[in-house]
Amino acid sequence: MWPFFEKHGVSEKDYFKLIPLKNYHFPLHFHRAFEIIYVNDGQLSISIDGKSYQVQKNDLVFIFPNQMHEFETIDFSEIMVILFSTELIGDFHMNYKSFIPNDNVLHAVNEPDCTKLDSIYSQKSFLYGVCAQLICQTSFAPVKQSPQTKVLYKILLFVEQNYSADCTLKAVAKHLQYDYPYLSKLFVQLMKMPFTDYLNHYRISQACYILKNSNLTIGEVANLCGYSNLRSFHRNFQKITHQSPKGYRVSNPPDKEMN
């Protein structure tokens, strides 16, 4: 599948993926892999478990598995997202799997040389170096999840797995066996937006990635992202990105693939 913020690091123990992104945003989500966001240039606004950070050039954000997070460009940004499986830093993960950092951001970090991260040994060396910096910089707190947060996780997981098809809050309620009014109220309370708005942001963010990294037609991209009506896709894309799908593709040419 095209989308990249999904289930990574679960089935492949040596999973390590570099993803360059420019002027990108992604709505609130979580995954079972670790994630590093390195800011090559510009600024980002990032929220992790409800805590807000503003990061800039040479800042590095270290996000733990299942931490709820979102990010948005401030004016301009060029970032490198690194998704990797917990097994790549197995010793660190075993010691800290029940904890989260009190501060997820490292400042003034040297830009990683992506051309040298082509073997599992160089990857582990880089990642353990970041772990060491994080341990020196911040303290850690035990993971705590309220019953309401656990329900929200289930809703977001349903969106991740079904956004390309029939994905409504009524379908979520039926799948999770919860009352629709309860889920609707809970979602707005925790997410500060209605479910439909979140779904559209999620779908459009996925569409941006596909437009940038494939030669699929705009109609094919719309269909992959759950829009059977092309007019609705164009309207939501323009509203969220302030560009047309065609304009976005032209202004965001694909980067050289890095693995």
Over residues 85-136, the pLDDT tens digits come to 999 999 999 999 999 999 999 999 999 998 899 999 999 999 999 999 999 9
Q: What is the CATH number of domain 147-243?
A: 1.10.10.60
Could you please state the CATH topology (level 3) that the domain comprising 16-142 is classified under.
Answer: Jelly Rolls (2.60.120)
Angle (CA) 195-200-202 rounded to 5° is 95
Backbone angles phi, psi at 160, to 5 degrees: -55, -40
pLDDT at 10: 47
Which residues belong to CATH 2.60.120.10 in the chain?
Answer: 16-142
pLDDT tens digits for 143-173?
988 899 999 999 999 998 999 998 999 999 9
Indicate where the chain has its CATH 1.10.10.60 domain(s).
Answer: 147-243
CA dihedral 249, 213, 34, 168 (to 10 degrees): 70
First-to-final CA distance of the chain:
16
